[in-house]
Amino acid sequence: MKVLMINGSPDPKGCISTALKEATKILNAEGIETEEVFVGNKDIRGCIACRRCKQTGKCVFNDLVNETAPKLAEADGIIVGTPVYFSNPNGTVLSFMQRLFFSCGLDLHMKVGASVVSCRRGGNSATFEAMNQFFGITGMPTVPSSYWNDVHGYTGEDVYKDEEGLQTVQNLARNMAFMIKSIKAGQESVGKPEMKHDAWTHFIR
């Protein structure tokens, strides 16, 4: 069992790194492997809607997105972390996630997903909601916690002072481990729910 960690912060030792490390400790203790991919400091451009990926199964821009797709295919879950920029996710990780989820053509059904955000003061709720949108549309159960998954601080060390934020991330990791194990056991005993994709409606006149 494995969880893929996407670090959308440009600071490899920043607030998101601290939060992901806390989640990693618990997941590893639960017997779940983790791998972290740093995205926030990379040159990642946005999708240009060329749709070449629908012919080739990968993005036309051969960068970290295509490198990460096989890792997502192998993973049982994903945690995406991003700092808050103007009440939004970091533009780099948002472009990365949009291209990854659109281009890879993977069956993500019943892999579990979660997001973690960091902010100095505000904008966390809007950012949290934006990142969680990737999961429901791809059949991925979103992992809950005891609060919204955000930590506060200006530096990675600051996050250790946010006791409730750290506890929220820790509870998230425990729930993720439980869900991964439960879904795996359920698939072995009863299989996966059937998903249909034959209805395609455009709301135009």
Does 200 map to a domain?
no
Q: Give the pTM.
A: 0.94
State the residue range of the domain holding 168: 2-190
Q: What is the pLDDT of residue 205?
A: 62
Does 199 map to a domain?
no
Assess contact for 134 and 97: CB atoms under 8 A: yes
pLDDT digits (tens, 9 = 90+) for 142-168: 999 999 999 999 999 999 999 999 999
Assess contact for 150 and 128: CB atoms under 8 A: yes
Q: What is the pLDDT of residue 198?
A: 84
Assess contact for 8 and 41: CB atoms under 8 A: no
Q: What is the pLDDT of residue 204?
A: 72
Does 197 map to a domain?
no
Does 195 map to a domain?
no
pLDDT digits (tens, 9 = 90+) for 80-122: 999 999 999 999 999 999 999 999 889 999 999 999 999 999 9
DSSP bridge pairs for 114: 79
Q: What is the pLDDT of residue 203?
A: 78
Does 178 map to a domain?
yes
Does 93 map to a domain?
yes
CA dist., res. 33 & res. 30, Å (int): 9
**What CATH number is attached to the domain comprising 76?**
3.40.50.360
What mean pLDDT comes out for the span 56-60?
A: 94
Does 134 map to a domain?
yes
pLDDT digits (tens, 9 = 90+) for 120-137: 999 999 999 999 999 999
Does 15 map to a domain?
yes
Instruction: Please provide the average confidence, as pLDDT, over all residues in the chain.
Output: 95
Q: Domain count of the chain?
A: 1
